[in-house]
Amino acid sequence: MSTFAKPENALKRAEELINVGQKQDALQALHDLITSKRYRAWQKPLEKIMFKYIELCVDMRKGRYAKDGLIQYRIVCQQVNVNSLEEVIKHFMHLSTERAEVARTEAQALEEALDVEDLEADKRPEDLMLSYVSGEKGKDRSDRELVTPWFKFLWETYRTVLEILRNNSKLENLYAMTAHRAFQFCKQYKRTTEFRRLCEIIRNHLSNLNKYKDQRDRTDLTAPESLQLYLDTRFEQLKIATELELWQEAFRSVEDIHGLMCMVKKTPKPSLMVVYYAKLTEIFWTSGSHLYHAYAWLKLFLLQKNFNKNLSQKDLQTIASSVVLAALSVLPYDHTRGASHLELENEKERNMRMSNLINFNLDPKPESREVLSRSALLSQLVSKGVMSCVLPEVKDLYHLLEHEFLPLDLSLKVQPLLNKISKLGGKLASASSVPEVQLSKYVLALEKLATLRLLQQASQVYQTMTIESLSQMIPFFDFSVVEKISVDAVKHKFLTMKVDHMNGAVSFSILDLESDTVRNHLTALAESLNKARSMIYPPLNKASKIEDTLPGLAELVEKEHKKLLARKTIIEQRKEEQERQLLEKEREEESKRLQLQKSNVEAEQKRLASELEKRKIQRIQKEIEEREIEEAKALLQEKFSKNKKKPLIEGDKLTKQALMELALNEQLREKQEMEKKLLKLSKQMDYLERAKREEAAPLIESAYQQRLVEEQLLHEHEQQLEVELSRQRHDGDLQEKKRVARVMENKRIFQESLMSHRQSEFERLRKEREEHFHQIRLARKQERLAKRKMIFYLRSEEERLNKLREEEEARKLEESERRRKEESERQAKLDEMAEKQRQREQELEEKEKLRRHQILAGEAARSSETPLARPQAEAIPAAAAATAAAASAAPAPTKYVPRHLREKPAGSAPAPATDRWRSSDRRGPAGGASRPTW
């Protein structure tokens, strides 16, 4: 582990290692610096080091190193400069995202480059073998080699950042932003598995936040800003889950949102609640819970109606129609009837969870329990005014399916309405949270409901019916589908029906003549006949009744209109009051939180001050006790010396407590004497005050009577003056009215003349303005024409210049190609000449080696003959050496010889042996020439 005196030195060392290609060593050096305990105080160079460290981690895809470094850096700058940590994390995510996008772009470019140009050419054997062995296409291989590693690293980046910021109250915005970017990553690349893991990670973070509440930098969910960030994150999670069609994860996200709202006991903004119920409608419809789907639509309709002031009438009708159709899509019988105990318990738990999600409280008491049922839902639609906002087709369908009794004509009347409803719906302009409503998805459920109603009504009228006639009465489905629907209805005790395929008949339950169903049917028939008779033969006094009703009708309409206006005003006031109360509640909660925090700080300060005070008291207590004894002795001696009395307490037993008791007894005695004196004096003052008041009472009464008489006279005088002034003002007003009434006709004539003059002036100005606009349009048209011509000219000139530039570039390219060929030919010739020179030098060396060998062999032979001939033999190699030196000094035709050797005479003496740059040093052991270096 390397140590550095300053952090800047580590950064310089890392840059040097990067320049020579040793990125791993540079990363390790920076990692050692960051994790060292020596640099735990934040300073500005550490931020630059972290930026370089993050860049190296991203280049080398070292996610574990990046996580360790960020954790250590968080410890360093958490309490000093948390903004630096935020900048580093943002840089980390930016680099990871950028590299992933670059890898994806390269993969796409590679895929385009690998496309076969010749469509008739066969595949190469290598490609066929690779495709059969790997089992993947070219795009899959490029993705696996280029894109997948960077996507894995980007996903690891998101997880690392979320883990680092999970319980940091100072970086809540960055945590929320990272979660949103991770959601968008999963949405863009359809990563469903990673999305589930991401949701689980965020869910665990929230549970740990609630579990460990003693952390120092823990996020406070009671703060409005923190709560809003968490809710926005959960709502974004819900949106992405529905877009990816992960319905189980979407349901868990809805439960997370509901749990968060219950945790802080605060309802979010209406705009968020609209998104909440809109997503619930999709989830419940996909899961087949049509009843809860309808309740969610009802909540959504009420929110849009009460809080969306921009909602148009058309969009309101569409949403209300969706509510009614969703309610009608619920089956008219209970699925839990006849179920087992275990199924009932599971259904009960499921209903509790779903009812809590739609904010519908179920009371556990049986006598006061609210029931989530189809009949209760339809009654709420009527009571809350939903039926007054629906489309006419939907209202007619509702009355046909719920209130009419038409066993033969029900399908014929329902089918055209369903055809119209299937074409309704579309995008909503004023409901941003519900962008689109399609009513066609309810058609199948409504057809099933119409089939059940027809079977139910037919069972009340007929006892037996042929299968063919029943199939003609139900044009929606084949009889096999109708049979499945009827089997499910019979299973849940909604119908009593039996199908006989051998005889081709359908038998319903046997009904007695006096049964309730038949009696009700006959009653309905009688009422219908009575209505028909009244339409054919209207009563004679009908006109008189209408005349009696019409005078009061206008007054009744006026009253109802006033009531509606008053109700609208009250609703607006209630909305404003509710918003004001919510704002006040938020302010109170914030003030309480601040007050609690302040009180905790003050309590801590008081505790420290009290401990300090207690230590001071303990230190001073001993001094006080010592002085108390001395003071007690001095006071007691002084007291008894004045009174000349014998002390009651001995000097040895004298204490502060005894002295205090003596002083208190003395004060008590003096106090009692003073009280007696004051009591006596108060009695004297009471007697004196009573005597004074008895004397002053008659004088006060006479003055009061005199004041009454004077005020009565003053009142009568002022009353008379006021009457006289009122009479005078009235006479003056009458005279002024008569005087002004004479000029009213002149005023009317002047007003008409003035209005006619202004009207003519307005017409003149309007014509001038239209003429001016016409001139402007003509000028702009000419300007556009000139501009188009100029653009055409510029484009043609640019194309001509581009063409000339391309020809020039082609000419230059051809010239450079010609020069390159000439250079290559010249280089080939030079290489050939160098090769010949090398071969010639090699031959010379071989000859020199052969000559040296021969000389050495002759010298050995002569030395073996006689010692007297040795001096003579030694002269021979010397002469041979001189001859070789002369030969070597002679310039060769292919070897460079220095000038001082070329001009040297043949008989000159050789250079001294001390010069190491002479040619003799380069000789061999036999005195031959050295090996040339050229």
* Residue 792, pLDDT score: 94
SS3 803: helix
Q: State pLDDT tens for residues 178-231.
A: 888 888 888 888 888 888 898 888 888 888 877 776 667 677 777 777 888 888
Higher pLDDT, 865 or 64: 64
Amino acid at site 300: L
Give mean pLDDT, residues 469-476: 86
User: Which 8-state DSSP code applies to residue 363?
Assistant: P
Of 268, 270, 294, the C-alpha closest to 281 is 294
Q: State pLDDT tens for residues 581-599.
A: 888 888 888 888 888 888 8
Angle (CA) 804-806-809 rounded to 5° is 110
Predicted TM-score (pTM) of the model is 0.51
Q: Which one of 69-73, 773-777, 857-861 scores highest in mean pLDDT?
A: 773-777
Number of Cβ atoms within 10 Å of the Cβ of 324: 25
**From the DSSP assignment, how many helices (H) and strands (E) are in the chain?**
28, 5
Give mean pLDDT, residues 852-873: 61
Complete edge-to-edge strand list for the sheet that includes strand 505-508: 464-466, 505-508, 497-500
Structure tokens at 466: 């042929």
Give mean pLDDT, residues 846-855: 89
User: Of 294-303, 714-723, 744-753, which gets the smallest average pLDDT?
Assistant: 294-303
Of 318, 311, 219, 235, the C-alpha closest to 269 is 235
User: Contact, 235 vs 229, CB < 8 A?
Assistant: no
Would the pLDDT of 619 be above 50?
yes
* Residue 808, pLDDT score: 93
Structure tokens at 591: 């003030």
Of 426, 431, 476, the C-alpha closest to 451 is 476
Would the pLDDT of 11 be above 60?
yes
Half-sphere exposure at residue 579, Cβ-oriented, CA atoms within 13 angstroms:
9
Would the pLDDT of 896 be above 50?
yes
Higher pLDDT, 772 or 740: 772
Would the pLDDT of 259 be above 50?
yes
Mean pLDDT over all residues of the chain?
Answer: 77
Q: Confidence class of residue 654 from pLDDT cuts 50, 70 and 90?
A: low
Amino acid at site 187: K
User: Contact, 380 vs 298, CB < 8 A?
Assistant: yes
Cβ within 8 Å of residue 106, ≥6 positions away? 146
The span from the CA of 234 to the CA of 175, in Å, is 13
Higher pLDDT, 447 or 648: 447
Q: State pLDDT tens for residues 760-781.
A: 999 999 999 999 999 999 999 9
Alpha-carbon Rg for the chain, nearest whole angstrom, is 55
User: Contact, 329 vs 449, CB < 8 A?
Assistant: yes
Phi and psi at 312, nearest 5°, equal -80, 165
* Residue 169, pLDDT score: 76
Give mean pLDDT, residues 554-560: 81
Structure tokens at 395: 């209202």
Half-sphere exposure at residue 814, Cβ-oriented, CA atoms within 13 angstroms:
6
Would the pLDDT of 141 be above 60?
no
Of 298, 434, 395, the C-alpha closest to 355 is 298
Number of Cβ atoms within 10 Å of the Cβ of 415: 13
Would the pLDDT of 80 be above 80?
no
User: Of 424-428, 498-502, 564-568, 708-712, which gets the smallest average pLDDT?
Assistant: 424-428
Would the pLDDT of 465 be above 80?
yes
Would the pLDDT of 611 be above 50?
yes
Give mean pLDDT, residues 553-574: 84
User: Of 221-225, 382-386, 436-440, 513-517, which gets the smallest average pLDDT?
Assistant: 513-517
Of 425, 247, 441, 433, the C-alpha closest to 328 is 441
Give mean pLDDT, residues 734-757: 89
* Residue 652, pLDDT score: 44
- The full DSSP string for 320-359 is HHHHHHHHHTS-SS-TTTT--HHHHHHHHHHHHHHHHHTT
Cβ within 8 Å of residue 821, ≥6 positions away? none
Q: Residue 464 is inside which H or E element, if any?
A: strand 464-466
* Residue 550, pLDDT score: 57
Of 334, 302, 345, the C-alpha closest to 320 is 302
Would the pLDDT of 752 be above 90?
yes
Rounded to whole angstroms, the maximal C-alpha distance in the chain is 187
* Residue 868, pLDDT score: 40
Distances (CA, A) of 726 to 713, 718, 721: 21, 13, 9
* Residue 3, pLDDT score: 63
pLDDT more than 90, % of the chain: 13
Give mean pLDDT, residues 659-685: 84
User: Of 123-137, 203-217, 472-486, which gets the smallest average pLDDT?
Assistant: 123-137
Q: State pLDDT tens for residues 145-163.
A: 667 888 888 888 888 888 8
SS3 165: coil
The span from the CA of 325 to the CA of 444, in Å, is 11
Give mean pLDDT, residues 324-341: 72
User: Which 8-state DSSP code applies to residue 191?
Assistant: -
**In terms of C-beta distances under 8 Å and separation of at least 24 residues, what long-range contacts does 307-310 make, across chains too?**
307/270, 307/271, 307/274, 307/575, 308/274, 308/430, 308/431, 310/430
Structure tokens at 234: 């959960």
User: Contact, 116 vs 202, CB < 8 A?
Assistant: no
- Please give the torsion angle defined by the CA atoms of residues 562, 564, 567 and 572, in that order, rounded to the nearest 10 degrees: -110
Phi and psi at 466, nearest 5°, equal -75, 150
SS3 694: helix
Q: State pLDDT tens for residues 14-44.
A: 778 888 778 888 888 888 777 777 767 677 7
The span from the CA of 184 to the CA of 18, in Å, is 34
CA 671 to chain centre: 78
Would the pLDDT of 361 be above 70?
no
Distances (CA, A) of 852 to 650, 810, 918, 927, 929: 140, 63, 21, 9, 10
* Residue 306, pLDDT score: 82
* Residue 372, pLDDT score: 63
